[in-house]
Structure 1
Amino acid sequence: MKRTFFLNLFAAAVLLSSCKKEEYRAPSITGIAADTIVLNIGDRIVLAPNVKNLKGNSYAWLVNGQATASGQLSYTFEATASGNFEVTFKVDNKGGTDKQSFNIYVEKPIELTIADQLEVSMGKVLEISPTVNGPAGNDFTYQWSIGDSVIGRQRILNFISPAAGTYELKFRAVAGKQTATATRKIVVKPEQYVQNAYMVLEYAPAPAKNHNWAIIGNAEFWKFGHEFQLPYNDFLAKATAMRRDNVAPSLVIGSWGGYAVFRFDHTVANAAGKPDLELTATCSRLDLPAVYVAYDRNKNGKPDEEEWYEIKNEDYGLEDMPDYAITFTYNKTETDAKRIYTYYNWKDNQETPAQGEMLTNKTFTSAMTDAGTFSSRGFFPGLSMTDIPNKKVAILDGWQNTFTRKGKRITKNLTGAPPFSQKLNIDIDLAVNSRGERVQLPGIDFVKVRKVVYPVQQDFINAGGQVVDYNMDETRMLHVGAILDKHLIK
């Protein structure tokens, strides 16, 4: 009987103990996302996970394994240092244990370092390359400004000013929610420059009827000493000297494909929102030249081929032949008692080539200048009468007796659009690359002017209203005069 009593008592105790243990169910943590929480230094975040089965629980918070708080369901994490942090929440009771972790990344603060002493001459480019440290990744954005004017949106600033003075530069970097700024004063020293792009680096005319390759100045004044029949390099030097002292002298570029390359003695600043250059050219309103600009980025003093960009104008993209070319070849010179006859041939690059011969026929008496020289008007480029008494001609040193002019061709009917001397405003902000994409240039050092319009015209008098090729007609030749930096006030 006693044995039965004790067995019943033991069973009751076991049953009672089992009932009490079931009251402490193991805790369960929810509400913690797997994504990493990104903070900046100075940020605070309240971490408050959900807990199921609260009876008898004890709570602990650990940051990177180190206990930081206990007895609370939430924890405020303060970002005081950058790096990766694992914030673990641990729950214990008699029924079991659970723990989950928040992953937090505190980004590095943005730190900017700029040289203390900034100085540059006006009309020169100074590359300012600040050091930027901060959050990993490539989501930085930048802004350079002077007062209310934004002058750059890249980390590296190519600073240029057309005016002397002291300016305060402000540099701002933004990454995520962070923003940092730094300011520096920059001193721009005064200099004396020539406003005109007076240096002639290359002269590549394309001949035409009565074209005058030796003219530096007004083409109609050939008799009055505007001709300079010189070897090629001497001609460039003479044109350079004349254009330095006077903005009026022009060069006759000639027919389609002719061009010339000019250089400033400083870098012309690219000022936002306004034109930077003024180009004087003789052409019609429908026959505008193509203008190309180059910034001497590698400072080698010459325009490298990859540095050229076209200024987008109203004719941009209208070319019907993007890769047109004409080859000109000097043929011969013949004379008789009164006249001289010079011949050259031309031929284009089409599958069925257009070609022809140009003849210049002039008397000796009417071709003499006031200085007693035989005019080069109508001669092949570089051809000069080197011996007037014996009527001998020669191609002067540096010029070529055959050459090719190539580029894009825009065929236009120019009926009713006579050429005249006009001033064209050029905005460097309109420069585009070979794909038509805008490029950002701090300024430019070189200018190339090329004739790209191939003129045709309705001839109602002589051809019954037919379209006539006027490319090598003397009335359709391009003349290029002054190329002025509009930011230099003279």
Structure 2
Amino acid sequence: MRKQYSFLLLALTLLLSACSSEDESMEGILPPTIAGLESEYTLLAGEELTFAPTVENGEHATCLWTLDGAEVSRKATYTFLAGNEAYTHTLSLQVSNEAGKDEKTARLNVISQGSTVTLEAQTYTVVPIELNGTPLGGGTWKVTSAASDLYRLTGADTDIPSFIAAREGRYILTAENEGSKTHVLVNVKERSGKLTSNIASVLDYMPAPGQFVNVLPEYEEGDTHEDMVRKAGEWLVGDEAYAITLGGWGGYVVVGFDHTIPNVAGLRDFRINGNAFDAADNGRPDAPKGGSCEPGIVMVAYDRNKNGRPDEDEWYEIAGSGNFTTKTEAWYSIAVENGNDTDVFRDYEMTYYRPTREEPEESAEPDNPLAYITIKDYIRWTDNRGNNEYKVKNVYHTQTYYPAWVDENQLTFHGIRLANNAINEGKFNPGINSGSVYFVLYSFRYGYVDNSSNVDDNSAIDIDWAVDREGNPVELPGVDFIKVYNGVNQENGWLGECSTEVERGEDLHMQGKRIPTLEE
């Protein structure tokens, strides 16, 4: 009896050990997840397509591919060869392990070459989906096969949509209307000629009065407006660009690219560099991001009529985070507490008047942040809100702050005026900061130039942020022209006025930079 009991005890011990070992082997194993397999593909008859999806947690998983219900492979990848007849197949992938399974299904539309319309296109060029002005199909269009994800289809519900791609290859567009389908094959080839990913031209330049005006770029006696536009171009065009100033509120520059920057869904499309940087010694606990952030509002234009210049009805604003309200900014409550003007005026107008004197009227000390003014009532300005005030002249910049090439005695600018983002965060420190002066210009969340450092993703712009005057989103295939103007009317103590600076411009897709758009 004792021997039988010992045998049963041994068997139970082995069974428990086996279960324990199996449980331990299951530890850390998660169900697989399939990614990279779209719900629909379109192929030409006789075409071959290899599917190679990624599988998360797939180390111990098995794969099962079925085509129209029949098993075709148990490998991680599967190559499909389309037949010679038009047909719609159902392809499924099931991946499973001890912890669970995942399954994805794709529809494979095989179309014959004779049933498609073929269009030739070039990279970075918008092509209308039509033939000699005639629409190619009704219904809703979509891209069902793409050589790259760097493309944009706009006007999908219109008779003649538009398409642009940044990479060469074959793209198939399909329109479906009441059960019937129309297929268009777009063969995209590399655009002929050398293109640049940077600014290619400066079309206009007019800074508002400011301490760096006539210096960045330099004015020389006798220069005209055309001369200064040319000089701005010499500073901004190409990869080796230098900063130009836009002066005070409203000052602007208009630049052009030698191609259309594609508006790729889900990615930011371009960047215009500035000289923003973060504060090195902000003593405020848990301070929001800030430093020298002088936001320039961005306008974009697509050359719809191909006349080589931006027409007035082609401009749209990039809806930066503060274009309609400041209440969503991280520094809003701090600004209110500080007494800042936090209002946003979308129909702002400001006029600057030529100064009547340039010689210093007050004794200034370059090393004293409380005694930097040489002319207190220097440049008079008025606005459509009833203000009538003056810009000061400081000891650090002695040239005239009024654009010297302008013959008129006053300059008027129009646009959006953002909230004041500067706060004096200075703390008294004898011998180091006796004046208690340390201005921090806090950063808006997104959508501006010279608002975040050039390596920060939030200095990049998504064309899908474009809106019309009323704030309604607009759908653009891409942009050819960009306008930047200073969005803040603000004095920052001895630092001077808030003045947007503009440097190199970049087509992020041409440069191979992938920056996801902002998810709110």
Superposition CA RMSD, Å: 3.5
Q: Is the 8 Å Cα contact of residues 283 and 477 (structure 1) preserved in structure 2?
A: no
Distance in 2, Cα, partners of 1:227 & 1:313: 32
Equivalents in 2 of 1:361, 1:251: separation in Å?
20
- The yes-or-no answer on 1:288 pairing with 2:295 is yes
Offset at residue 234 of structure 1 (A): 0.7
Residues 329, 268 of structure 1: alpha-carbon distance in 2 compared, 3 angstrom cutoff = same
Cα 1:446–1:325 shift into 2, 3 Å: same
Please tell me the residue identity of whatever aligns with 1:141: T
Give the structure 1 partner of residue 381 of structure 2. Answer: 346
Counterpart check, 1:356 vs 2:416: no
CA distance in 2, matches of 1:239, 1:113: 52
Alignment of 1:121-200 (within 5 A): 122-130=123-131, 131=134, 140-147=139-146, 151-152=152-153, 153-154=156-157, 155-163=159-167, 165=168, 167-200=169-202
Superposed CA offset, 1:200-226 (max 9, x none): 222221223x3423313xxxxxxxxx6
Distance between the aligned counterparts of 1:124 and 1:246, measured in 2? 22
CA contact (8 A) 2:201 2:255 kept: yes
Unaligned runs of at least 5 residues, structure 1: 1-111, 217-225, 368-374, 383-395, 456-468
1:354-390 Cα offsets, whole Å, 9 max, x none, are 212345476xxx97xxxxxxx63x43112xxxxxxxx
CA contact 1:283–1:476 (8 Å) conserved in 2 = no
Distance in 2 between the 1:435 and 1:399 partners? 35
SS of aligned partner of 2:254: strand
Partners of 1:283 and 1:478 within 8 A in 2: no
- Displacement of 1:233 in angstroms is 0.5
Give the distance between the partners of 1:245 and 1:399, measured in 2 at CA. Answer: 31
Structure 1 position 295, deviation (Å): 0.5
Distance 1:471 1:235, change over 3 A: farther
CA displacement at 1:444 relative to structure 2: 0.6
The structure in which a higher percent of residues are strand is: 1
- Deviation at 1:446? 0.6
Go from structure 1 to structure 2 and tell me whether the alpha carbon gap of 1:177 and 1:346 turns closer, same or farther (over 3 Å shift): same
- TM-aligned CA distance change 1:293 to 1:145, over 3 Å: farther
TM-score w.r.t. length of structure 2: 0.54
**Residues 261 and 269 of structure 2 are in contact (CA less than 8 Å); yes or no, is this contact kept in structure 1?**
yes
Question: Which amino acid letter does the alignment assign opposite residue 206 of structure 1?
Answer: A
What is the match of residue 28 of structure 2? none
The alpha-carbon distance between structure 1 residues 402 and 475, as it changes in their structure 2 partners (threshold 3 A), is closer
Counterpart mapping for 1:233-272 below 5 A: 233-272=226-265
* 8 Å CA contact 1:214, 1:228 repeated in 2: no
Equivalences, count = 322
- How is 1:284-433 mapped onto 2 (pairs within 5 angstroms)? 285=290, 287-318=294-325, 320-333=344-357, 343-350=378-385, 353-358=386-391, 360=393, 376=399, 378-382=400-404, 396=405, 399-415=407-423, 416=425, 417-418=440-441, 422-423=453-454, 424-433=459-468
User: Counterpart amino acid of 1:380?
Assistant: Y
SS of corresponding position for 1:235: helix
Matched with 2:204 is: 202
1:57-115: CA deviation from partner (whole Å, max 9, x where unpaired): xxxxxxxxxxxxxxxxxxxxxxxxxxxxxxxxxxxxxxxxxxxxxxxxxxxxxxx9875
Contact 1:269 1:276 in 2 (8 A): yes
Inter-partner Cα distance in structure 2 for 1:200 and 1:176: 49
Q: Structure 1: how far apart are the matches of 2:186 and 2:401?
A: 59
1:287 deviates by: 4.6
Identity %: 27
Label 1:338 to 1:408 Cα distance change in 2 as closer, same or farther (>3 A).
Answer: closer
Tell me whether 303-312 or 446-455 shows the greater mean CA deviation: 446-455
CA 1:157/1:471 → structure 2, altered by over 3 Å: closer, same or farther?
farther
TM-score (norm. length: structure 1) = 0.57
Q: Is the 1:129–1:156 Cα contact (8 Å) retained in structure 2? A: yes
What one-letter code is carried by the residue in structure 1 that aligns with 2:498? Answer: R
Contact 1:144 1:157 in 2 (8 A): no
Cα distance in 2 for partners of 1:336, 1:288 equals: 30
Amino acid aligned to 1:422: S
In 2, Cα distance between equivalents of 1:405 and 1:133: 45
- 1:312 positional shift: 2.1
Match of 2:478 in 1: 443
Cα drift, residue 241 of structure 1: 2.5
| Residues 144-173 of structure 1, C-alpha deviations (whole Å, 9 max, x = no match) | 34338584224424332333x3x2222222
> In the superposition, relative to structure 1, how do residues 334 and 204 fare at CA in structure 2: closer, same or farther (>3 Å)?
closer
Aligned to 1:460: none
Change (3 A) 1:145 1:403: farther
What is the letter of the counterpart of residue 414 of structure 1? A
CA distance 1:435–1:246, shift in 2 (3 Å) = same
**CA separation in 1, counterparts of 2:360 and 2:276?**
36
Shift, 1:303, TM fit:
1.1
Alignment gaps of 5+ in structure 2: 1-113, 278-289, 326-342, 364-373, 426-439, 443-449, 513-520
SS of match in other structure, 1:476: coil
State the distance in 2 between where 1:314 and 1:361 align. Answer: 32
Quickly say closer, same or farther: Cα 1:200–1:180, change in 2 above 3 A. closer
**Alpha-carbon displacement from aligned partner over 1:223-250 (angstroms, at most 9, x marks no partner):** xxx6656321111112213323543311
- 1:293 and 1:310 in contact (8 A); partners too: yes
Quote the offset at 1:412 in angstroms: 2.8
